[in-house]
Amino acid sequence: MSVVINHRKSEDGSAGVKLVAVLVVLFLIGYAGFNYIPIAYEGQSFKQDMQTAVVQGMAPLPGMTILDTVKVKVQKAMVSNNIPADAIVQVKQIPNSVQAHVVYSKQVSMLPFGIYKYNYHFDHTATPTGFLMKDN
């Protein structure tokens, strides 16, 4: 029984090329996640802080109105969550409650060297919910 060995020069080194391609793809995914996850986390954390601000605004601070209390708490949350200073903040009175609305955008570099930047858009309206809003 004879063994036929078919050696093709063009097939040499293909495992190394595949490894480099996989490593490049993993690096790009990691880079995008490293830049996007903190921005998304700050956005979600800010949503929670906005919700807390409108609930706590139902019991205003001494010498302040409900709207002023909510504005102060939302401004503090903006600073703690690295929200851009040019964010649009609207706090308004609605029947039996208060509502806070914030809109902003941030550029997130998804690929190295600024090849592609994603525009993270935040638009959220917070109103008190749950047992605070039930009519007696």
The reply to whether 10 falls in a domain is: no
The verdict on residue 5 lying in a domain is no
Nearest by Cα to 83 from 56, 51, 53, 45: 45
Note whether residue 117 is domain-resident. yes
Residue at 122 is within a domain: yes
Q: Which domain holds residue 128?
A: 15-133
Query: Is 127 a member of any domain?
Result: yes
Q: How many domains does the chain have?
A: 1
Domain membership of residue 80 (yes or no) is yes
Q: Flag whether 3 is in a domain.
A: no
pTM above 0.85, yes or no: no
Q: Name the strand (E) or helix (H) holding 30.
A: helix 14-56
Residue 46 lies in a domain: yes
pLDDT tens, residue order, the chain (136 aa): 677 777 777 666 678 889 999 999 999 999 999 999 999 999 999 999 999 999 988 888 788 888 999 999 999 999 999 999 999 999 999 888 899 999 999 999 999 998 999 999 999 999 988 665 655 4
